[in-house]
Structure 1
C-alpha cells in the first residue's frame, strides 16, 4: 500500500493534476433471487456487504454492512440467529455481540448451527447443539455466539466447514480441528464417540499441510498442499471415493487420484466434487439426481471425470444440504447438474447465469447459499485502482511506446520505480517516444499493464511470449504469473510446445506441470505433431524422466 501511495504521488507530482474522485453505483448483489431478502428494505440492501441464506427452508439470513455490523432475520430455529432467544423476526435485528467483528468465512449445519471465523482468526459458534457441534463442551443450544478458545487459543482459523451436525476448521498453519456428531467417524478421531470440543485431526494428516476443507452431511474432506485428497466419515454412498462403502474413522488418502493434483474440494449432501490444477472436475458418491454429471443415476465409489465442453473449470460448487452441483468455466459459463427444483439433470447443463451462487438460489432445494456471499463497494477509488486507471492514458502520460504501429501511453516515473530495466534505460532518455520491435504489441502491452496492476491480462497462448520477456528483463514475479496463466491453456496438442518453452526459459514450476500433464495424457500426447517434432535432447530427457516415474510400465 505504501508503494502504491508513493507511486501515485510521483505520477501526479510533475503535472500537479489532482486525482479526480469519482462516485459510481454500488456493484450490488442480485439478492432478489433469494426470497428472504424481500423482508429487507431497499435502503438496508444498499448497505449489505456479505450475506448467507441458510436453514432447512432457506428461512434464515445473516448479513454484514458497510459499518461491520451484523444483522439477522428469519424463523430463528434453535436460536440459530444468535440473538439470545428463539423468536422469529421479519425485521433485521443487529447481532450486537459480534458488532465490529469482520467475517472471513462462515458455514452452517442442518440443525442449523453456525460456525464463523473472523478476519483475526477467531471462531464463534451458535445454534443447534444436540451433538456438541458448537464445540463448547455441552449439548445445550447456543442462543448467543460462543467464542471457541479450547485448543484454538493460539491458532488463526482461515476456513470453516459444517456437516449436518459436525464442524471443521482449518488453521493458518495447515492443521484441521473437528468436533460434533461422530456416529460415522466424521470428526476423524478413530472412534464413533461424539467430540464435544475441538480436537486436531491427525493420523495421515499429522505431517501434512492442509489448504482446503469441506463437509458432506456426515463426512469430511481435506486437500493438502501436494494436491492429495484425504477423506473420512460416512461412506454408504461411496462419497469418500475409496472404491468401497465402508465408513472411515480416520483420514485416508484417495488413492484413485494418484498423479492428479487437486486444488479444491466441494461436498454435496452425499456426493463429492474436486477441481484439479488442470481445470478438470472429478465426482463420486450418491447420484440419485444425477449430481455426479455422468449421464446416469448410478452411484460411483471411485473418482469419475465430469465433462463440461472443452473449457477449463475454475470453480466448483456444492452444498451439504443439497443434491446440486455447479461449475464455472474460464470463459465465464456456468453449468449445473443434479437436483433442479425436484427434477434430475444428469449431465452438465449450460445456464444463463454468470455466477454459481445463482444456481443454488434458483435451482437447489433448499435455496440456500453454498458459500458466504461478498459484495464489494465501488463508491471510491483506492490508490491501486487509481494507478490502474492511468495505464495507457494519453492525457497524463509523458512517454509512449510504439509497438507494431500502435502507441502505449505510460509514465516514466512509474516505470522507473517498478522495473529495474527501465530504471537504467530511461535514466538519461529525454525522448517521449520509444520504439519496440523485440516483442509483439499484445505481449509488451501486457507487460506495461502489469507494472500498473500487478496482474496480467493475456491469453495462455500469448503468455509464452510474456514469459520470454519476463526472463529477458529478469522479472521473477511476472515470470511466476506467466507460468500460472500458461498452465490454464495446456492441452494434449500444445503440451510438448509448452514443455519446450518451460525448459527454454528455465521455468521449473511450469516444466514440472507440463511434464506431469504429458505423463497423465501420454498416449494422446505421443501421437501429436509436437511430439514428433520434439527437439532431440528434450526428447531424450523426457523419455529418461518418464521412465524413472514408471510411465512405460504395463
Structure 2
C-alpha cells in the first residue's frame, strides 16, 4: 500500500490574496462593508487587517499598519472588546493590543471573538453564556483576556463554531471549549466545558494540520491526510455515513485513499481539498452548497466542483450556506446560497479574492477570514512603483529578450536586485548603453522576473514557473524562489511530480523537493507508471525509491 503522509503545514486564518481594492472592481465598497465608509480617510489608508462578523455583519475589527486594533459596530455582548456594551459608529481603539502583531481573528455567533497574535497567544472576549471564552465563567467579556494557562504550546490556528471554540498548536494538538450540547468539543460527553482541554480521543496521538468549525460541529485533518469529525450530525455534516451525533472524533472512512490538505465548514456542510486539487463535500445541501449540481443532502463525502479545474483553496464559514474555491489559475468560483438564491453549480466570478464571495453574496455578508491589505486614498509608494513597470515614457533602460523589449528603470533594478547592482557598478557604462540583452530564458520568464522586482507578485502560467525558478536561482533571489515553489506546488500532479522533484534538486529548492517527495509517497503506485518517472535520471530515480522505502512505502 502507498504511504500517505504529508508535511505538517498549518494554515493561517487570513486571506492574503491581495489588497481590499483588489476585488472591489466589480462591487462598490459601500455595498460590501458600509462601516468602512465611515472611517476617516487617513485611517482607511492605514488598515492592515479587517474582519467583519456578527449575525447581521454589524461588527467590525481592524488593525492598522502602526500595530493598533480598532472596533466599531453594534457591540453585541461586548464583542467590540472596548470595556462596555456601547454601540459605536466611530472606531474605538482596543489599547491593550497596541504594539502587538495580529495573525488572525475569528468569531462565533453570539458573537464571541478569538484573536491570535503572531507570537501564538490567544485573547478572547464577547458572548460567554456557554463558556466559549474559555475563562471558566459565563459572564460576557467586554474586554479581551489572555487565554494561555491551559494551552501548553504556541497556537497557530483558531476556529469558532456558533458557541464553541477550537485551536491548533504548533505541535499538532487540538484544544476545545464552550458549548457542547451535541458533543462538538469532542470530550466524550455533552457537558459544556469552561476551559481549554486537549482533544485526546482518537486523535490524541496524531499530529493535526488543519481545523474547522461548523455551527455545532468540529473537523480536524491529520498530517497524513486523514479527516476526523465530531458534534452535531443531523444533516450528515460529519460525513460518517449516518445522522448520529458523535461526542468523540470519528474518522471519515469514505475519504480513505485520498490525502486531504484542507477542510472548511459551512453552517451545516463541509468541504475537503485533497493534495491533487480535488474537492469533496458532504452534509446539508438545500441551497446547493456542496457544489454537486443538485440540492440533495449526503451523509458521506462525494467529489464535487469537478468542472472548475485543479483547486488550490476552498472557503466556507459557519455563518452561512455559501461555498467558494480558487483554482490554480486564480479563478474564483462560488456556489450555494448566494443572495438568497440556491446555486448548486459552481459559478465563475470576476473576483480576485475568496472573501468577496462572502462579503458580497452570503447571508450575512461576513468575512470568511480576516482580510489582509488596505485601500489607499492616494497611491502608495508600492503602487506607484508597480505602475511604472514597462512604462516607456519614464524608463531609462530596455531589456531585450527574444527580440522584444521590456522598459525598466536602472535605479529600481539596482535597489531590488543584487545581480543588476553588481552589473551596473562593475562594467556598465551608463552613458553609452540603454539596452541590455538577456539570453537563455524566454521572454515570458524574464518579463515575469522583472515584474516581480516591481511588484513582489508573480504572474506566470504554472508550466513556465520552472524556468522562473531557474532564473531566480541564478540571480540568487530567495524571495522569488519561495514564490515560485508555492506556485509550482499548486500545479503538482501524478504525471509531472517526478520531473518537478528532479528540478527541485537541481535548483536547490529544498521545500519544493520535500513537498514533491511526500506527494510521490502518497501516490507512489501511479507515479512510478508515468512517463515523467521513466524519464528521471537513474541516480535521482534510485534516490527517490530508496527514500520511499525508508518511509514504509513498500511494507506489507
TM-score per shorter chain, which class? Answer: 0.7 to 0.9
Map 1:103-502 → 2, pairs under 5 A? 103-152=102-151, 155-206=153-204, 208-258=206-256, 260-307=258-305, 309-378=307-376, 401-408=399-406, 409=408, 411=410, 427=426, 432=433, 435-447=437-449, 456-469=458-471, 481-490=483-492
Relative to 1, partners in 2 of residues 1:472 and 1:258: Cα closer, same or farther, differing over 3 Å?
farther
**CA 1:268/1:53 → structure 2, altered by over 3 Å: closer, same or farther?**
same
Q: Is the 8 A contact 2:448 2:458 kept in 1?
A: yes
SS at match of 1:182: coil
Superimposed CA distance per residue, residues 151-189 of structure 1 (whole angstroms, 9 cap, x where no aligned partner): 24x754343211111111234454432211123332233
Instruction: Tell whether the 8 Å contact from 1:499 to 1:514 is kept in structure 2 after alignment.
Output: no
Using CA pairs below 8 Å that are at least 6 residues apart, which structure has the higher relative contact order? Answer: 2
Per-residue deviation, 1:63: 4.0
SS at match of 1:359: helix
What CA distance in whole angstroms lies between the structure 2 residues aligned with 1:319 and 1:496?
36
SS of the aligned residue for 2:463 comes to: coil
Asked whether the 8 Å contact 2:295–2:344 carries over to 1, the reply is yes
Inter-partner Cα distance in structure 2 for 1:535 and 1:121? 42
**Matches of 1:429 and 1:322 in 2, distance apart?**
60
Q: Which residue of 2 aligns with 1:13?
A: none
Separation in structure 2 between the aligned mates of residue 500 and residue 122 of structure 1, nearest angstrom: 40
On the 8 A contact 2:23/2:352 being kept in 1, the answer is no
1 CA distance for matches of 2:124 and 2:211?
18
- Report the secondary structure of 2:282's partner residue: strand
| 8 Å contact kept, 1:157–1:170 | yes
Query: Are the structure 2 counterparts of residues 122 and 518 from structure 1 closer, same or farther at C-alpha, using a change threshold of 3 Å?
Result: closer
Q: Which residue of 2 aligns with 1:72?
A: 72
**CA gap 1:450/1:510 in 2 versus in 1, 3 angstroms:** farther
Tell me the TM-score normalised to structure 2 length.
0.75
Q: 8 Å contact 2:235–2:283 — kept in the other structure? A: yes
Q: CA deviation at 1:218?
A: 1.5
Tell me if structure 2 keeps the 8 A contact 1:26–1:379. no
* Equivalent position SS for 2:296: coil
Q: Measure the CA separation in 1 of the matches of 2:317 and 2:416.
A: 46
Correspondences of 1:15-94 after superposition (within 5 Å): 30-34=28-32, 37=35, 40=38, 46=44, 49=47, 50-64=49-63, 68-74=68-74, 76-87=75-86, 89=87, 91-92=89-90, 94=92
- Matched-pair contact (CA < 8 Å) for 2:59–2:72: yes
Highest CA radius of gyration, 1 or 2?
Answer: 1
**Residues 200/442 of structure 1: CA separation in 2 closer, same or farther (3 Å cut):** same
Give a deviation string over 1:348-389, Cα, whole Å, max 9, x none: 123454443333234323333222234425468888778877
Q: CA RMSD in A?
A: 4.6
Deviations 1:496-546 (A, max 9, x none): 7757766877873465377468768779x86xxx57996796999799899
Task: Say if 2:494 is the partner of 1:512.
Answer: no
Residue 7 of structure 1: aligned partner:
none
CA contact (8 A) 2:214 2:266 kept: yes
Partner SS for 1:461: helix
Q: Distance in 1 between matches of 2:276 and 2:125?
A: 39
Give, in angstroms, the shift of residue 323 of structure 1: 1.5
Stretch moving more, 277-286 or 473-482: 473-482
Deviation for aligned residue 1:135? 0.7
Gaps of 5+ in 2: 1-19
Say which is worse superposed, 447-456 or 104-113, in terms of deviation.
447-456
Distance 1:157 1:418 in 2: 36
Give the Cα–Cα distance (whole angstroms) in 1 for the partners of residues 377 and 54 of structure 2: 33
What's the offset of the Cα at 1:118? Answer: 3.4
1:294 deviation in Å?
0.8
Partner SS for 1:462: helix
Alpha-carbon distance, 1:461 to partner = 1.6
Question: Is the 8 Å Cα contact of residues 483 and 510 (structure 1) preserved in structure 2?
Answer: no
* d(CA) in 2 for partners of 1:416, 1:391: 14
Query: Residues of 2 paired with 1:420 and 1:93: CA distance?
Result: 46
Q: 1:335 to 1:191 in 2, by over 3 A?
A: same
Once the two structures are TM-superposed, the CA of residue 132 in structure 1 deviates from its matched residue by 0.8
- CA displacement at 1:267 relative to structure 2: 0.7
Q: CA deviation at 1:107?
A: 1.5
Report the number of matched residues.
Answer: 522
Query: Aligned partners of 1:41 and 1:380: how far apart in 2?
Result: 15
* 1:500/1:169 CA distance change after superposition, 3 Å: closer
